[in-house]
Structure 1
Amino acid sequence: MTAAMRTRKLTTERAADVLAEMGVLVDDRRCSFEDWLQGKLAGLAPGIAREVESWLRTLHKGGPRSRARDINTVRHYGGCLRPALLEWSGRYDHLREVTRDDVLAALDTAQGSSRQHLLIALRSLFGLLKKNGVVFRNPTAHIRVGQRLSRLIQPLGDDQIERTVTVATRPADRLIIALAAIQAARAGAIRAMQLDDVDIGDRRLTIAGRTRPLDDLTRQALLTWLNYRRARWPNTANPHLLINQRTASETGPVSGHWIHLGFRGQAATIERMRVDRQLEEALTHGPDPLHLAVVFGLDPKTAIRYADSARQLLETVIECDTPG
C-alpha cells in the first residue's frame, strides 16, 4: 500500500485523513510522544521517573486547571531538565528529597537563556508536584529567573540578504521574502494568510488582522506566485495564500517546517528579515516607539527596544563621522 501511495505522491497522513473521513481508519501506530517520553525517563530513579512522567503527560494533554502545552514546549522542558534529573537520580529516590541548594547547583551549570529556561521548567515541574501534594515544599520558590539582557539589534548586511535571495529557489520563496523583508510579517502570519487578505486592485494587504498598503515589489511577487498557484493547482479549494503539494488537497495552512525550509542555514532568515525591516524603519524615520507601534502594530515594550537599538546605532554613526 505504501508503494502505491508513493507512486501517486500521497502521504500517509493524507491517506489517514481520507480513511478517517470515511469512518474506516484503524490507526494502530505508536504515538511518537510515547517513544520520546520513554527515552527521557530512561536512567531515572523509579520514583523520580514516575513523577516526571506525570508532569510531562499533564503538559502534553492538559489536566484539571492545567492547559495542554505545545509539543515543542514539552520536548524542550523535558530535554533541558534531563541532566539535572539524572544527577538527582544518583542520590535520591523521589523529587521530594530535592532541596533549594540542589536547584541552585543545577542552575549553576547553565548560563544566560539556558539558565532561565531550566528554572522555568523546574518551576513548572515542582509547581505541579506541590499542587498535587507530591512534595511538601517547592524548592524553586523565591529563586528569581532574572531579566534577559536586551542585545543591540544589528541590521543585516546586503550580502546576507543577497545570499538568501540566491538560495530561495522555490516558487513561494520570493513572496515569503517580500512579506518578511518589506511587510515585516512573521512566519506564522504568512502561513495564516488567505486569498481574501490580498486586494491587488486596491493595492491593500491584510496581515495578522492589520491592513497595509501593497508596495510594488510585494505586488509583483504576489502576482508571480498567484499565476504559478493557479497553473499548478487549478482545482484546489484551499483558501490559504501559500499552499504546497500536500495542502493543495486540504484546507489547512502549510507547515512551519515547510515555510522555513528554503532559508535553513542562512543569516537572513524569515525572522531576521522581519526584524531588519522594523529596525530599518526606525533608522529611516527616527527612533520613535510610537511610530513603530502604529506602523507595525508592535506592543510598547518591543517598539521601545527597536527604537533604543536604532538610537544607539545612529549615535555610533555620528561618533564615527565626527572628526577626532
Structure 2
Amino acid sequence: MVSCDQCLSWGVPEGIGRCRACREFGVRYPDLGDCLGCRRRTPRRKGYCRLCWCQARLDRGPVNRHSRLLPFVQDVRHHQLFFARMPSPRDTTVRPTQPRRGVGTGSPGIPRKAPPPVAGRPVAGQVQLRLIDDLRRDYRYGRVDLRRHTVPDNPWLAWALHLSHTMAEARGWSGIVHRTLDRNLVMLLAGYLDGERIRYSDYYPVLRDRMAGLKRVTEVLQSMGILLDDRPDTFEAWMTDKLADLHPGIRRDIHSWARALHEGGPRVRRRSEGTVRNYLYHVQAALTDWSQRYGHLREVTREDILAAVANRSGFARALTLAALRCLFSWAKREGLIFRNPTTGIKNGPCERRILQPLSEDDITHAVNAATTPHARLFVALAAINAARHGDIRAILLDDVDLGNRRITIAGRIRRIDDLTHQVLVEWLDYRRKRWPNTANPYLLVSQHSATGIQPVTQPWVGYLLRGLPATIEGLRIDRQLDEALACGGDPLHLAAVFDIDSSTAIRYATSARQLLQRPHEAKPPPSPGTRGSTLDDSPDEPVGSS
C-alpha cells in the first residue's frame, strides 16, 4: 500500500498511483495546473485541487453545512490527511428526528407527494415565430424554487413531469434522482413556448456545473421532440486534427474515405468508429511521408506501399496492409486513382509470440487490488471462467442460476464453482442493498447505470486493475493457458471447454507444448572423458578410478 499522488491519502494499492476519487476527479475536471491553495500541479476545480476541497468541507463543519463551499476553500491554509476508500467524517451532533415520507402504514410521517397528473403532448395552435432564431437563452437566472413556489402552469412542463414520473417508476429511481430531474425540467420548461427548440449547448454548462442529471434531461427532451442537439461531432473533430499535417489533396481523399467507412454507403460496408480510428493510426506515418512528395493518391506507387510496410512485422504489418488495401480499393471504385498499387502484395505468415503464464506475484497483486464486491466478481469470472470484458458486461440477472449452480456467459452454460458462487452471492447482496429499486436487467450495475437499463461501460470494468501486470484480459489468457498446460496441449479439449475458435485453440496448444518441452532447461550430454548419466547431479569420476 502506498499514498495517492494527488490527495496524499494512504491505502492505495501499489502500482495504481491514484485513488478512485482522484481518478474520477481528474476525469470530471481535466483542468491541469497549479492549485491556488497548495500550489501543487494537479487537476483543478475552479482553480483548487481535490485535497483543498476536502479540507474546505471539513472546515465548514456541521453548523454551516448548507453554506457555499467556495469561500471555505479560499481560506484553506493547512490539510488534514486521511485514508483512501474511507468515508468522510460526518456530523455527529444529535438532531431531532424528522418524520420520513410515507414510512410504514401506521407512522405519522409526512405524506408522500402526489404524482403529477396524467398529461400528453399539448395541441399546438397558432405559433408565434421567434424574431431571432439564433438567440441564446441563459438558464442560470430566473429559476423557480419548488420549495417556495408552485409548479408553473405550462402544458409542456406538465407533460415533461409526467414523463419523468413514468420513467422513475419504470426504472426504480431514488427520490433524489427524481426530484433533481423535476427541478431541471422546471428550469428549462417554465417559460417554454410552442414551436421553440431547446438547444443542448444552452443548458449543458448549467447542468454540468451542478452535476445534475444531464443525460436524463436530454432523454426526456428527446422523447418530447423539442431538443436541438447541437453537440459537435467528436469523430469529425478528431479526424480533422489527425489529418491536419497532410497535403490538401491527400487530406481531402482520406477524409472522404474515413467518413465513408464510418457512415457506410451503397458500395461501402459500415465500420465501427474504433475500426476507422485504428486504420488511420496505422496509415498515418505513410500518409505523412507521401504528403511531403506527392499531392494526390494517384501518384502513390507499388514501391511506396512496400516501403510503408517494410519496417513493420507481425500484426502491425498485417493491419497496415489491410488499411492500405481498403483505402486504395475505395479510391479505385470512386475513380480517384487509375490503378490499385496494393494489388498482388501478400502479407505472408504472421509469427505469433509464445504466450507466457502470469507469475504468482502478479496474480496476488490483482487479487489484493480487488477490494470491492464487483471487482472480486470481475477477477473470479476472468480467472476461473475465462470471460472477456464484453461477456462480463453482457451477463443478465436471468443468466445466473444459483440454485442449480449455473451461469450463462456468451451463450454458453458454465458450472459455478464454490469460489465463484461465494463471490456472486456477495455481489448480489450488495446490489440489492445498494440499489433495491433499480430496473437494470444486467448483473453488473454501477452508480450511473443503475438509473438506466444499459450495461456498465468498459473502462468501469477494468479500472481497478489498471496499471497492474495482471489485468482482466491477462487473467483470462492465463486461465486458458493453464488449462492448455494441464491437458498437455490438446486443442480439441480447449475448444470444448472454453468454446473458442479452432485457430485460437491451436495457438494456446502450441504455446503449451513449447512451455512443456522447456528446451532451455535440458542438461548438455556428458563429455567424452567422463561417465555417468545426465540426470545424475553428482560430479563424474575419472576413468579407471576404483
Return the letter of the residue paired with 2:473. E
Return the letter of the residue paired with 2:535. P
Aligned counterpart, 1:62 = 264
Q: Deviations over 1:100-146 (max 9, x none)?
A: 01111222243333222211111111111111121111111111122
Of 297, 307, 325, which aligns to 1:123?
A: 325
Of 333, 336, 344, which aligns to 1:142?
A: 344
Where 1:162 maps in the other structure, the secondary structure is: helix
**What is the aligned length?**
323
Closer, same or farther: CA 153–104 of 1 in aligned 2, 3 Å? same
Determine if the alignment matches structure 1 residue 28 to structure 2 residue 230: yes
Return the letter of the residue paired with 1:274. R
Pick 1 or 2: higher relative contact order, CA cutoff 8 A, min separation 6: 1
Closer, same or farther: CA 31–288 of 1 in aligned 2, 3 Å? same
Distance apart, 1:3 and its partner CA: 5.3
Closer, same or farther: CA 224–9 of 1 in aligned 2, 3 Å? farther
Determine if the alignment matches structure 1 residue 269 to structure 2 residue 481: no
TM-score by length of 1: 0.93
Paired residues of 1:172 and 1:242 also in contact (CA < 8 A): yes
Aligned counterpart, 2:446 = 244
TM-score by length of 2: 0.57
Counting aligned pairs with the same residue, the percent is 53
Return the letter of the residue paired with 1:164. A
Q: Deviations over 1:63-121 (max 9, x none)?
A: 11322212111112112222211221122121011000111122224333322221111
Determine if the alignment matches structure 1 residue 182 to structure 2 residue 394: no
Closer, same or farther: CA 52–261 of 1 in aligned 2, 3 Å? same
Q: Deviations over 1:149-190 (max 9, x none)?
A: 121111111110111122223431100110000001111111
Return the letter of the residue paired with 2:347. V
Distance in 1 (alpha carbons) for counterparts of 2:518 and 2:307: 40
Return the letter of the residue paired with 2:470. A
Of 217, 225, 240, which aligns to 2:419?
A: 217
CA RMSD of aligned residues (A): 2.0
1:1-324 → structure 2 map (5 Å cutoff): 2=205, 4=207, 7=210, 10=213, 12-316=214-518, 320=522, 323=535
Closer, same or farther: CA 312–13 of 1 in aligned 2, 3 Å? same
Paired residues of 2:314 and 2:352 also in contact (CA < 8 A): no
Distance in 2 (alpha carbons) for counterparts of 1:31 and 1:77: 19
The worse-fitting range, judged by mean Cα deviation, of 191-200 and 296-305 is 296-305
Where 1:69 maps in the other structure, the secondary structure is: coil
Aligned counterpart, 2:182 = none
Distance in 1 (alpha carbons) for counterparts of 2:207 and 2:251: 43
More helix by share: 1
Closer, same or farther: CA 4–39 of 1 in aligned 2, 3 Å? closer
Distance apart, 1:197 and its partner CA: 0.5
Distance apart, 1:275 and its partner CA: 1.1
Where 2:518 maps in the other structure, the secondary structure is: helix
Paired residues of 1:170 and 1:262 also in contact (CA < 8 A): no
Closer, same or farther: CA 132–5 of 1 in aligned 2, 3 Å? closer
Distance in 1 (alpha carbons) for counterparts of 2:343 and 2:337: 13
Distance in 1 (alpha carbons) for counterparts of 2:320 and 2:413: 39
Paired residues of 2:400 and 2:407 also in contact (CA < 8 A): yes
Distance in 2 (alpha carbons) for counterparts of 1:197 and 1:84: 47
Paired residues of 2:438 and 2:450 also in contact (CA < 8 A): yes
Distance apart, 1:320 and its partner CA: 4.8
Paired residues of 1:126 and 1:139 also in contact (CA < 8 A): yes
Structure 1 stretches of 4+ moved >4 Å: 1-9, 317-322
